[in-house]
A and B are shown apart, each in its own frame.
Chain A
Amino acid sequence: MGYEVNVPARHGRALWEKLMQAGKPLGITPYGTETMHVLRAEKGYIIIGQDTDGTVTPEDAGIGWAIGKAKPDFVGKRSLSRPDIVAKGRKQLIGLLTDDPKAVLVEGAQIVTDPKQAKPMKMIGHVTSSYWSEALGRSIAMAVVEGGFDRMGATLHIPTADGGAQAAKVTGTVFYDPEGDRLKVE
């Protein structure tokens, strides 16, 4: 539950100071956009345009649940059943947990199954989001990978600029409290 408070700009600073003062006994904590990026990634909330591009469908992104299955028709419905849209091997959004928990993958880095293969390597996807998670005490990342949903638990490799590669396991995209226990209210 949140509020958005608007005041004429000249009162902005005074409002901020009043809010911080009033909230101090309640432990008020200002946080910025970088924190919001990490928080949303820990819960698997995607950023359209970062974790997706124009080729990614709701199913690919793991949010097929949002499509109203009971709707008789809607703009785009027919597109969702086109042969290439339902084909196997589509790039799908998955989570990546590096074998080295301190290694933070580079966003945009390419993903391969065998880092020792001859170049040019077969690239099967790329890292879309990557952060250090203080709450989890390790790095987390999301990526789009060919047939990603069928690769759960597999180890993939992310070649690095120095010629080496990071190994990472394919996981779901919800890293923090995946069961949602913290959201349940008695």
Chain B
Amino acid sequence: MNAPVKSFDGITVSVQPPVARLNLRIAPADLAAASAAFGLPLPGKIGQGAAKGDHAAWCLGPDEWLLHAAEADQAAITAAFAKARATTPHSLTVISDREITIAIVGPRAQELLSVGCPLDLARMAPGTAKRTLFDSAQVVLIRDADDGFRIEVWRSFFPHVSELLDIATRELAAGL
């Protein structure tokens, strides 16, 4: 009776496969060099996302971007940025193993997230991302669609966030 419910009609919560995940810090004036190295025009507005194939990027702050790519591309990406460093100072940090992605998809996904996230999620547009909190854990929240989100949470906070999502999913499934 207490078997974990990871999905019901309203929501599916699932851990995503690993990605190449990188944190980029670069002066906005130099963004073109980073876009060239990454092979994707990086968004200039805070919160905005961009994607091409399996490369994706979100602007999290005035000089900070979150980059995603296929795991197999990680070495090529870090090499391209290493080359760019000769002319363009920046910091590119591989954080692939630092975080785990939880996808939350379905008509009640936004409602589920509101259990732990203090933001007014109705105002979060698809294609955007924010650094925020889920309960007391810092997370990056990505909105892919009206009914699709991803939470990126540090490995050490994952059990806490995952368990809260499980409990909330069961509560919603039970009609609470």
Are A10 and B98 in contact, CB atoms less than 8 angstroms apart? no
With a cutoff of 8 Å between Cβ atoms, the chain A residues found around residue B97 in the complex are 8-10
How far is it, in angstroms, between the C-alpha of A8 and the C-alpha of B18 when the chains are bound?
12
User: Taking the complex as formed, is B155 at the interface, i.e. its CB lies under 8 A from any CB of chain A?
Assistant: yes
With a cutoff of 8 Å between Cβ atoms, the chain B residues found around residue A8 in the complex are 96-97
How far is it, in angstroms, between the C-alpha of A9 and the C-alpha of B96 when the chains are bound?
9
How far is it, in angstroms, between the C-alpha of A9 and the C-alpha of B98 when the chains are bound?
7
Within 8 A of B (CB), among A1-45: 8-10
| Nearest B residue (CB) for A11 | B97
Contact with B along A103-131 (1 / 0, CB 8 A): 00000000000000000000000000000
Within 8 A of A (CB), among B80-102: 96-98
With a cutoff of 8 Å between Cβ atoms, the chain A residues found around residue B98 in the complex are 9
With a cutoff of 8 Å between Cβ atoms, the chain A residues found around residue B18 in the complex are 10
Within 8 A of A (CB), among B23-40: none
| Nearest B residue (CB) for A10 | B97
B52 vs chain A, min Cβ distance (A): 26
With a cutoff of 8 Å between Cβ atoms, the chain A residues found around residue B155 in the complex are 9
| Nearest A residue (CB) for B99 | A9
How far is it, in angstroms, between the C-alpha of A10 and the C-alpha of B99 when the chains are bound?
10
| Nearest A residue (CB) for B156 | A9
How far is it, in angstroms, between the C-alpha of A10 and the C-alpha of B18 when the chains are bound?
10
| Nearest A residue (CB) for B18 | A10
With a cutoff of 8 Å between Cβ atoms, the chain B residues found around residue A10 in the complex are 18, 97
Contact with A along B1-45 (1 / 0, CB 8 A): 000000000000000001000000000000000000000000000
How far is it, in angstroms, between the C-alpha of A8 and the C-alpha of B71 when the chains are bound?
13
How far is it, in angstroms, between the C-alpha of A143 and the C-alpha of B97 when the chains are bound?
44
How far is it, in angstroms, between the C-alpha of A9 and the C-alpha of B156 when the chains are bound?
10
| Nearest B residue (CB) for A7 | B97
A118 vs chain B, min Cβ distance (A): 50
| Nearest B residue (CB) for A12 | B97
A16 vs chain B, min Cβ distance (A): 15
| Nearest B residue (CB) for A8 | B97
A7 vs chain B, min Cβ distance (A): 9
A125 vs chain B, min Cβ distance (A): 39
How far is it, in angstroms, between the C-alpha of A9 and the C-alpha of B157 when the chains are bound?
13
How far is it, in angstroms, between the C-alpha of A10 and the C-alpha of B98 when the chains are bound?
9
With a cutoff of 8 Å between Cβ atoms, the chain B residues found around residue A9 in the complex are 97-98, 155
How far is it, in angstroms, between the C-alpha of A67 and the C-alpha of B18 when the chains are bound?
51
A-B pairs with beta carbons under 8 Å apart, 7 shown = A8-B96, A8-B97, A9-B97, A9-B98, A9-B155, A10-B18, A10-B97
Q: Which of A's residues lie within 8 Å of B, judged by CB? A: 8-10
- List of 7 A-B pairs having minimum Cβ-Cβ separation, nearest first: A8-B97, A9-B97, A9-B155, A10-B97, A8-B96, A9-B98, A10-B18
